[in-house]
Chain A
Amino acid sequence: MRVNFTVNGRPQQADDVWEGESLLYVLRERMGLPGSKNACEQGECGSCTVRLDGVPVCACLVAAGQVEGREVVTVEGLAEAKGRAAGPVDSQTGEGTALSPVQQAFIDAGAVQCGFCTPGLLVAADEMLERNPDPSDADIREALSGNLCRCTGYEKIMDAVRLAAARQGEAV
């Protein structure tokens, strides 16, 4: 089947989609947007978190056909939506890329190790900070309880979200 939807502000079309394919598969394998990760494909890990019409969801549990005509934002769209240019971009490391505050905070706080959980966490954390700019630690933990990380022990992720919230507060 054919599916049309908007990804990160751009209209996209996918053809020959098998009806059992998930939004995650279409993003990763058909649209060249592999930033959303496929770690469990059962909604338990949050690595594929994207925003569907603004709401964080697991892309692995959305059937491709269900996104017809809807708007999806992935980790690849975060910087574009909220990023601030930081200078010339290094083609090898990506340094200098415009990053959203939460992306920058994850780097600065050491919240990234293997990085496989990172895209999903960023989308979830970014959305939480929109709703709740001054979260308590318990609020952060609750909001991110659907995103598993196996490397960090979450401490640096907590630091990163606190840092992003603090910077966001200063910027206002």
Chain B
Amino acid sequence: MDFLRPACWEEALAAKAEHPTAVPIAGGTDVMVEINFDHRRPEYLLDLNRVGDLYEWEVGEDSVRLGASVSYTTIMENLRAELPGLALASHTVASPQIRNRGGVGGNLGTASPAGDAHPALLAAGAEVEVQSAGRGTRRIPVDDFYTGVKRNALAADELIRAVHIKKADGPQQFSKVGTRNAMVIAVCAFGLALHPGSRTVRTGIGSAAPTPVRAEAAEEFLNAALEEGGFWDNGRIVPPSVAKRFAELCSGACNPIDDVRGTASYRRHAVGVMARRTLTWTWESYRGTAARTEGVA
């Protein structure tokens, strides 16, 4: 095993180009577990801790450019207004120690369907900025980023540099089921974002399909129902029948498996419950009548 220690982004890209099998390591919260448990012996470890700009973020007009290594703790503490869904998701990541090290780049790189950031990114709308030494930069819509179980759209010579996430223009929520009240990997998770600007909603589902997915049929149904009823303007409560149908469609978007963490049918059921609840929370918030929810992020 070789340990590569690039001092800057260009060196990192060069190292990755030279050693395409090199495994990038930033927070180490996935890679080191695999090494400690002897599941993986990469030829090269490519340490990104010294690449300073990966830890930076920039709040723009419409979106936030979030460096790949910005820690979940930093997101919770600094970007709650701009990225409320991701901030809520960040707060459910493992433990304080892990949140201090791990970042969205790692979640994307590992591309586990259980990664906590994915549903929030899908719901908010995001693009992944990746780069290679030879072919420069490209921006991959997050919807196209996940290609299979623990597989993503990265080429062998590419590294994740940042994520461009749309700033919230409406309420966002994130909810995750685990069998413990802290420090738990998702049995399944759900993210929901209201986009009053475009009068659309977006969703994200974690751990209930081979990849993180959006519940597109559910989104279309809800978009239509909200439009038809004039709900964006009149601010009336979403009828229970609409919420129920939305929940059913979200469940239907799942393609889960049975595993030690939960059964497929439970996952479908729980995604439906979370869809209904997060719709209630976000819509109540949009209507401006919700009781203030104490900071969970």
Contact = CB atoms under 8 A, between A and B. Distances in A.
Interface residues of A, number: 29
A41 B37 contact: yes
A62 interface: yes
For chain B, the bracket of interface size reads 20 to 34
Interface in B14-71: 25, 27-29, 31-33, 35-37, 41, 45, 47, 49
Interface of B: 1-3, 5, 25, 27-29, 31-33, 35-37, 41, 45, 47, 49, 73, 94-98, 100-101, 182-183
B96 A143 contact: yes
B25 A66 contact: yes
Given A42-B33, A63-B28, A68 B183 contact: no
Nearest to A128: B96
Contact of B3 (A44, A55, A58, A63): A63
A43 B96 contact: no
14 contacts: A20-B35, A20-B41, A41-B33, A43-B29, A43-B32, A44-B95, A56-B97, A57-B101, A58-B29, A58-B101, A61-B98, A65-B3, A145-B183, A146-B95
Contacts of A18: 1
Contact of B101 (A42, A62, A68): A62
A1 interface: yes
A143 B99 CA distance: 11
A124 B97 contact: yes
Contact of B98 (A20, A124, A146): A146
A19 B47 CA distance: 11
Contacts of B1: 18-20
A65 B45 contact: yes
Nearest to A58: B97
A66 B98 contact: no
Given A63-B3, A63-B47, A65-B47, A22 B97 contact: no
Contacts of A49: 97
Interface string A79-108: 000000000000000000000000000000
A146 B97 contact: yes
A76 B45 CA distance: 30
A49 B95 CA distance: 11
A62 B95 contact: no
A82 B2 CA distance: 39
A29 B106 CA distance: 29
A65 B94 contact: no
Contacts of B183: 44, 145-146
Most chain A CB within 10 A, of B1, B25, B96, B97, is at B97
